[in-house]
Amino acid sequence: AQSVTQPDIHITVSEGASLELRCNYSYGATPYLFWYVQSPGQGLQLLLKYFSGDTLVQGIKGFEAEFKRSQSSFNLRKPSVHWSDAAEYFCAVARNNAGNMLTFGGGTRLMVKP
Amino acid sequence: GAVVSQHPSRVICKSGTSVKIECRSLDFQATTMFWYRQFPKKSLMLMATSNEGSKATYEQGVEKDKFLINHASLTLSTLTVTSAHPEDSSFYICSAPLGPTPEQYFGPGTRLTVT
């Protein structure tokens, strides 16, 4: 069975500082990896995804993530955080190649200090 | 991009009544849709896979008789919470993949409160 771990439940950063949100997965095959963002009371918005190819992927809102197979990680980064980035962030793995079901990590709540 | 809508966005119902939540793919067809449940400050838990023209596939521990899913067309799936109880209060989110890829588009969610 696959699993996704986001070790940090809460992270607080100052506006303008850099950000890295950690994501580790456990999956026997080549994973499809995603990062989603959720504002309070809202649905999920896709930030970026990795299917294959270049292991450094660029997403919306200035976010990027790097797939590291050796570490089973897909960490999300942003060089300079804005106050509007405060939200809940979810890492997800597609369950298998034949289906589209996602397994989500527990989420990381990002707070931004002025 | 692809859009998925949900209706209603919020609903309050009395214990013992049933509530129907709709999930629509607005500009694409979806033979499969997914229903998730999210508790406060928690992650999304997959409840079931809705399949157009056939029975839904439920995850382990999800009561199929309580959470009725109907995928009547290629753009509409409904989740009916039957005989709702306060413990069913939650945020319900649907999603649909655009084509055969694992990428999914999520609806805005429905906040259900059972009093």
Q: What is the pLDDT along chain B (115 residues), one digit of tens a residue?
A: 668 999 999 999 999 999 999 999 998 999 999 999 998 878 899 999 999 988 999 999 999 999 999 998 999 999 999 999 999 999 999 999 887 778 889 999 999 999 9
* C-alpha torsion sign, points B50, B15, B39, A27: negative
Task: Write out the two tokens for A108.
Answer: 């990381």
Element (H, E) at A68: strand A64-68
How near does any CA of chain A get to the CA of B42, in Å?
Answer: 7
Task: Write out the two tokens for B94.
Answer: 């649907």
- Mean pLDDT, chain B, integer: 93
pLDDT at residue A96 tops 70 = no
* Interface residues on A facing B, Cβ-Cβ cutoff 8 A: 32, 34, 36, 41-46, 49, 51, 90, 94, 99-107, 109
- CB atoms inside a 10 Å sphere around CB A112: 19
Contact A90 B44 (CB under 8 A): yes
Residues linked to residue B78 through DSSP beta bridges, in sequence order: B22, B70
Contact B108, A43 (CB under 8 A): yes
